[in-house]
Structure 1
Amino acid sequence: MTIIIEFCVNNTCFGTHEVVKKIQQTYDCEVYEYGCLTNCGVCYMVPYVLVDGEHVEAETPALLYERVVQKIEELPR
């Protein structure tokens, strides 16, 4: 099962793209970069991504990475 990671290009100021690149090196996943994911309130405040459609956010990119890995590990295989 391929994992789908989605992120907003407007959120890259938080380092989201680096988190996604790091995830891609470890997990079999498809990454989609969008101009907007219509989560502007969150996007403006913290780094976040969607993992198989589920919202994952954190205060820092390092913590986002940890939470995304945790979410991926929880997914059924």
Structure 2
Amino acid sequence: MGIVVVEICDSNLMNTFDIENIIESEYPEVAVLINDCLNFCGLCSLKPYALVNNQRIHGKTPEETLEKIRKAIEEELAFFA
């Protein structure tokens, strides 16, 4: 498992594209976990979001959220460097 963990709810709008392969190919030290539910009831149907090391990241679109996830990953990796 990576030093940074990105968690995605299976029902989330982030699953409109292959987030797991995108993130893991760009950042080998990151593990992407697709869960049945992240217990933020209703949030997954309202906006795309993910947890990056348990910090909630969200945006208006999946693309915007992906950029914010990348930024959060970079910040986490800088902490471990």
**TM-score interval for Structure 1 and Structure 2 normalised by the shorter chain:** 0.7 to 0.9
TM-score, structure 1 as length reference: 0.84
In 1, Cα distance between equivalents of 2:38 and 2:26: 24
Identify the residue that residue 66 of structure 1 maps to in structure 2: 67
> CA contact under 8 A between 1:19 and 1:64: conserved in structure 2?
no
| Backbone CA RMSD of aligned residues | 1.6
Aligned pair count reads 75
TM-score, structure 2 as length reference: 0.80
User: The residue matched to 1:37 in structure 2 has which SS?
Assistant: coil
Matches within 5 A, 1:6-21: 6-11=7-12, 14-16=13-15, 18-21=18-21
In 2, Cα distance between equivalents of 1:38 and 1:3: 20
- Unpaired segments ≥5 residues, structure 1: none
**Cα shift readout 1:35-58 (whole Å, capped 9, x = no counterpart):** 111112211101111001100011
Distance 1:19 1:33, change over 3 A: closer
In 2, Cα distance between equivalents of 1:54 and 1:7: 12
> CA contact under 8 A between 1:46 and 1:60: conserved in structure 2?
yes
Matches within 5 A, 1:1-77: 2-11=3-12, 14-16=13-15, 18-27=18-27, 28-75=29-76, 76-77=79-80
- Unpaired segments ≥5 residues, structure 2: none
